[in-house]
Amino acid sequence: MPVTPRRSTRGAVFTPTAAAPPVTTDTVFAWTGAPRPADGRVYYSGFSRVTKHGTGAREARFAIGDGVVVQVEGGNDGIGMLTALWEEPADEDDDDDEDESEMMAQIHWFFRKEDLPGVMRNVKLEDNEVLLASSPNRPVTTNLPLPLLVKTIPIYSKAVYKAQFPDAERKTQWKGWAYLPKANVFWCARAYDKGARGGKVWKVDIDEWKGRGRAGLGWAVKMVQEESEDESSAGPTSRAVSVAEEASGSDDSGDDASGVDSDEDEGAPQRKGKAAAAPKRKRAAASTPRKRARAEPKKARIPHPKSSSSRLPAAVPRVEDLPADPYERALRLLHVGATPESLPCREDEYVDVLSRVEEGIESGGGGCLYIAGVPGTGKTATVHAVVKELRRKAEDGELAPFSYVEINGLKIPSPQHAYTVLWETISGQKGTSAKTALRGLEAHFGRKTGSSGVRGPRGHTFVVLMDELDQLLTAKQDVVYNFFNWPTMRDSQLFVVAIANRMDLPQHLAAKIKSRLGLQTLLFQPYDRQSLIEIVQSRQVAHPASTAEHRVLAPDAIALAATKMAGTNGDARRVLDACRRAVEVAMAADERRPVSARDMVQVLNAMSSSPVALFLRQCSPQQKRLLAALVRCIRREGVPEIPWRAVRTDHDALTRSLAESNELLSDAELLLVRSSLVATHALTSAPDTYRAPEDRRLALGMEIGEVGRVLMNEGEAWRRALAGI
C-alpha cells in the first residue's frame, strides 16, 4: 500500500512505518497418560498445557496429586490439590454442530490464613503452613475446567519441608540485610473442618493421604479426635504465628536464653551483627536443652481479630474502669453510644433474633430476617448484641465460623455501593465498582463457573446487617430485591438481617420482594413508660471504690422524662439525652444534689423550647408540610440539596396523606410558601440561574434531626409520614 509522505513540524520528511503485528496468545491442552473409562467418563492421570506467546511457547505439566494454584473469584488465588482429571462428554441435548467435550479437573482445597472466616476460634499457623479441608457433611472439592488452573506448587509434609528448608537456610543476606524470601512453597500437617462448631482441627499425614489417593484408594480424609491446644502449639525452633497476634500487631516481649526476641519478624530486614548472628545462638541453645528455672504463665486466649469490613461498636467499659464520681459516671453511661451488653426490656426479641441467625449459620444455607420499628426502640443495638454473642460462641468453639458485614444506608454514597461492600468482603478484592461487584455476586450466588474463577476455599456463611433499609430503596427496588433474593438460592451461605424504621415498608415493596421475606419478620414495639424507666435505672450503677450514692436521678425525675417521651414516640435515645442534660445541669450547680422532678421539667422545657421548635410552632400547616417534604427528600436521596421538582412532588403526596384531601396548592401558591421560608432563612435556594425553575435546588437552613423531631410531635399522622428520620 503506497504511503504518502508528509512534513513534520521540524521540516523533516518522514515515512510512517507499518504497525507491529499484534501479539497473540494461544493455549493448547493435551492429556498425558493412558485413558481410563469409568462412570461414563474418561479419566486421565495428567495433562500438559502449551502456551504460545508470540514466536515462543511454554509448556507446563500437571499430574494427579500435584499442588496447584487456582484462579478464584475476585482475581485472587486459591490453593488446592489435583485429585481427578477427566473429559466431560458433550451434552446430547445441545443442538450445536460443534459438540466438543470439556476437560475438567477436581480440586481438593487447602486453607491459608487469608482463607479462614472472619469470626472463628484461634488457629495458629506457622510460616507457609496450610490446612487440609475436610468435612463429613459439606463439600471440600470443586469441579472446574482446566483453564482455571494457574500453576503447580509443592505441598510437603512438615518433616520434609523442615529438612529441605531449614530456618537458617531460609534466611539469606544481601548487602548487610537479612530477610526471608517468600517462596511459593507450602506444607501441611493438620486437617480443618470449617463447618464444625468452632472449626475442628486434627493432625493428618499428608504424604500418606497423597499416596492413598494416587494408588486409587480414594481421597477421603480420616476423621480423628480433635487435637488439644498443647499438641497444636509449635516447638521452640519453629515460629508459630497466631492469626490474632498478626492482625492486632502485638509483639511478645519474652526473650530466650541468649537474649534474642523469640517473636522477631523474620520477614523484616535486619542489620548484620547481633540480629544476623541471633539464629546461630538460638540453634545452639535449642540443641542443648536445659531445664527451665520457672514455668512461664499460660497466656490468656486472644480473641480472633480478623474482622470483616464492618466493626461492631465498642463495649461499655467495666465498672472498675469508670470514674468513681457518680455524676461523671452517669454522664458516661447515659450517653446514647454507651450500648450495654444486655438490653433491658428486649430479652424476648434478643432471643428470637439470636435463635434465627444461629440456625441460619448452623444450617450452612441462607435466610432473611426483616426487623421493623420506630426509631429509638433498640433494633440495631439488639442485632449488635446478637452478633457479639455469636462471635463469642464461634471463638469458643460452640458455633460454626462465619463472617460479619454491616451495610448502613446512611453511610454509603449510593444504594448500589452495597454491592461493593459485600463483594469486597467475600472475594477480598478491593476498589471494585458497583457494576463489577454486582456481576461477581451474581456469579458467586448463582454457582456459575466461568473465566472469572470459582468460589474456592473461602466459602462460608456471611451474616449481613442492612441497617437503614429505607435509604436503600430505589425506583426499581433492584438493590433490596437482590439482597433478599440471593439468600434463597441453593447453597448461598448468606443470611441477611434488614432493619427499617417504617412499619409499613413491606406494603410499599414489590410482590417479588414480599415473597422473599416470607414469615421472617419481627416488629419492635415502641417502649412504654415502665420500660423507659427501667432502661434509665439500669445505667445507674455503683462503683466498688466509692461509697457515694450512685442514684443521681430521682425516681420522680426519671418517671417524668419517661412519661413525656412515651407519649410521643417512645424513643429511648431522647429519654437518655434528657437525663444526661439534667445531670449536666446538676453538676454545674454550686451544691450537687440528685436531679429532682423540677429540674427535669426545666430540661424538658428547654429541649422543647429551642429556637427551631419555637420557629416551627409559628409556621403555617403549608410551611410545615413543605419543610417535612424537604426533610424526607434529603433522607431519601442522601444529599443536602434537592431539586424543586422532587420537593413539590413529595409535598403533594404529604398533603394527600396528612390533610386527607386532593385539593393541592397551585404552583403560584406553593412558590409563595417557598419564598416565605427562604425569607426567614429556614430554606436556602441555590442561585442556579442557568437551570430551569423546576431543577433549581433547595437546602434546609436548620438541623435536620431537630426539624424532624419537632414535626413528629404534631400528631400520629406526622409520625407515620416522617418515620425513619
**Beta carbons within 10 angstroms of residue 319's beta carbon:** 14
* pLDDT score, position 443: 82
Dist. CA 358–CA 497, nearest whole Å: 12
Binned at pLDDT 50, 70 and 90, residue 95 comes out as low
Over residues 351-370, the mean pLDDT reads: 88
pLDDT of residue 121: 60
pLDDT at 253 over 60: no
In angstroms, the CA 171 to CA 182 distance is 11
DSSP collapsed to 3 states, 29-46: EEEECCCEEECCEEEECE
CB 274 within 8 A of CB 177: no
Model confidence at 565: pLDDT above 60:
yes
pLDDT band for position 66 (50/70/90)? very high
Whether residue 315 is predicted with pLDDT greater than 50 in this model: the reply is yes
Bridge partners (DSSP) listed for residue 133: 192
Tell whether the model's pLDDT for residue 236 goes beyond 50.
Answer: no
Which residues are CB-contacts of 255 (< 8 A; sequence separation ≥ 6)?
261, 262
Angle subtended at Cα 183 by Cα 202 and Cα 270, rounded to the nearest 5 degrees: 105
The pLDDT score that the predictor gives to residue 175 is 53
Least confident of 54-58, 298-302, 699-703: 298-302
Instruction: Find residue 697's DSSP bridge partners.
Output: 643
Alpha carbon distance 700, 97 (integer Å): 66
How far apart (Å, rounded) are the C-alpha atoms in residues 565 and 569?
Answer: 6
Model confidence pLDDT, tens digit, residues 333-346: 888 777 776 778 88
Give yes or no for residue 13 having a pLDDT over 60.
Answer: no
d(CA 201, CA 192): 5
CB 134 within 8 A of CB 221: yes
pLDDT value of position 108:
93
Binned at pLDDT 50, 70 and 90, residue 350 comes out as very high
pLDDT band for position 504 (cuts 50, 70, 90) = low
The DSSP element (H or E) to which 206 belongs, if any, is helix 206-214
How far is the C-alpha of 578 from the C-alpha of 607, rounded, in Å? 8
CA distances, 44 to each of 38, 51, 101, 105 (Å): 11, 21, 14, 10
Of residues 659 and 130, the one with the higher pLDDT is: 130
Position 353 scores a pLDDT of 93
Instruction: Give the mean model confidence (pLDDT) for residues 544-573.
Output: 82
State the Cα angle at 117 between 114 and 118, rounded to 5°. Answer: 95
Determine contact, residues 612/705, Cβ cutoff 8 Å: no
So what's the pLDDT on residue 344? 84
Give me the residues paired with residue 79 across strands: 69
H/E stretch holding 67 reads: strand 67-71
What letter would DSSP give residue 592?
Answer: -
490 Ramachandran zone, left/alpha/beta (phi>0; psi -120 to 50): beta
- What CA–CA distance (Å, rounded) separates 354 from 500? 18
Sequence-distant (6+) residues with CB within 8 A of 126 are 234, 238, 239, 240, 241
d(CA 85, CA 453): 18
Strands (E) located in 536-643: 641-643
Distance CA 188, CA 154 (A): 11
pLDDT of residue 116: 79
| pLDDT: which is higher, 689 or 140 | 140
Band of pLDDT at residue 598, cut at 50, 70 and 90:
confident
Q: How far apart are CA 14 and CA 709, in angstroms?
A: 76
- Over range 388-406, report the average pLDDT: 85
CATH 1.10.10.10 in the chain: give the residue spans. 613-721
Give residue 288's pLDDT. 43
The verdict on domain 25-89+100-246 having CATH code 2.30.30.490 is: yes
CA 209/CA 546 separation, integer angstroms:
64
Q: Are 31 and 88 in contact (CB under 8 A)?
A: no
Say whether 223 sits in a helix, a strand or coil.
Answer: coil
pLDDT tens for residues 259-275?
333 333 333 444 444 34
Report the candidate in 526, 533, 536 with the shortest Cα–Cα distance to residue 559. Answer: 533
pLDDT of residue 428: 75
Separation CA 725–CA 722 (nearest Å): 6
Ramachandran class of 163: left when φ > 0, alpha when ψ lies in -120 to 50, beta otherwise: alpha
Distance from the first to the final alpha carbon of the chain: 71
CATH class of 339-524: alpha beta
**Within 13 A of 73's CA, how many CA atoms are on the CB side?**
28
Dig out the grid coordinates for 47 from the structure.
495433562
Phi-psi region of 176 (alpha: psi -120 to 50; beta: other; left: phi over 0): left
- pLDDT at position 691, please? 77
The contacts of residue 106 (CB under 8 Å, 6+ apart) are 82, 83, 84, 85, 141, 142, 143
Reduced to 3 DSSP states, what percent helix, strand and coil does the chain have, rounded to the nearest 5?
A: 35, 20, 40
* Alpha helices, H only, 215-298: 229-232, 243-248, 274-287
Which residue, 558, 503, 509, 505, is CA-closest to 525? 503
Cα distances (angstroms) measured from residue 652 to each of 150, 635, 674: 60, 18, 14
- Mean pLDDT in residue range 236-255: 39
**Predicted local confidence at residue 67, as pLDDT:** 92
pLDDT band at 697 (very low <50, low <70, confident <90, very high): confident
φ/ψ of 526, rounded to 5, equals -60, 150
Q: For 505-552, how does the pLDDT look when each residue is reduced to its tens digit (9 = 90+)?
A: 777 777 777 776 665 788 888 888 888 888 888 888 888 777 777 888
Which one is predicted more confidently, 383 or 548? 383
Cα 361 to Cα 400: distance, rounded to the nearest angstrom: 7
Q: Read off the C-alpha cell for 503.
A: 412499619
3-state secondary structure of 588: helix
How does strand 521-524 pair with strand 367-373?
parallel
Range(s) within the chain of domains with CATH label 3.40.50.300: 339-524
3-class DSSP assignment, residue 471: helix
What is residue 414's predicted lDDT score, i.e. its pLDDT?
Answer: 85
Strand order in the sheet with 494-500: 402-408, 461-467, 494-500, 367-373, 521-524
Give the 3-state secondary structure of residue 647. helix
Q: Where in the chain are all domains bearing CATH 2.30.30.490?
A: 25-89+100-246
Give the pLDDT confidence of 420-474 residue by residue, as tens digits.
999 888 877 788 899 999 988 888 887 654 444 566 666 678 999 999 888 888 7
Comparison of pLDDT for 724 and 308, the residue scoring more: 724
Asked if pLDDT for residue 702 goes beyond 70, the answer is yes
Cell triple for residue 448? Answer: 456459575
Q: Which three cell numbers stand for residue 1?
A: 500500500
Q: Kindly indicate the confidence band of residue 330, based on its pLDDT and cuts at 50, 70 and 90.
A: confident
Per DSSP, the residues of 480-526 read HHHHHHGGGSTT--EEEEEEES-TTGGGGS-HHHHHHHTT-EEEEPP
- Is there a contact between 72 and 455 (Cβ–Cβ < 8 Å)? yes
Q: Looking at residues 201-213, what average pLDDT do you find?
A: 90
Confirm if 244 and 119 have CB atoms less than 8 A apart: no
- So what's the pLDDT on residue 199? 65
- In this predicted structure, the answer to whether residue 708 has a pLDDT above a threshold of 50 is yes
Amino acid 74: pLDDT: 57
CATH of the domain spanning 613-721:
1.10.10.10
Q: What is the mean pLDDT of the chain?
A: 76
Q: How far apart are CA 414 and CA 475, in angstroms?
A: 13
d(CA 719, CA 171): 68
Grid cell 479419566 — which residue?
A: 43
Helix (H, G, I), strand (E, B) or coil at 673: helix
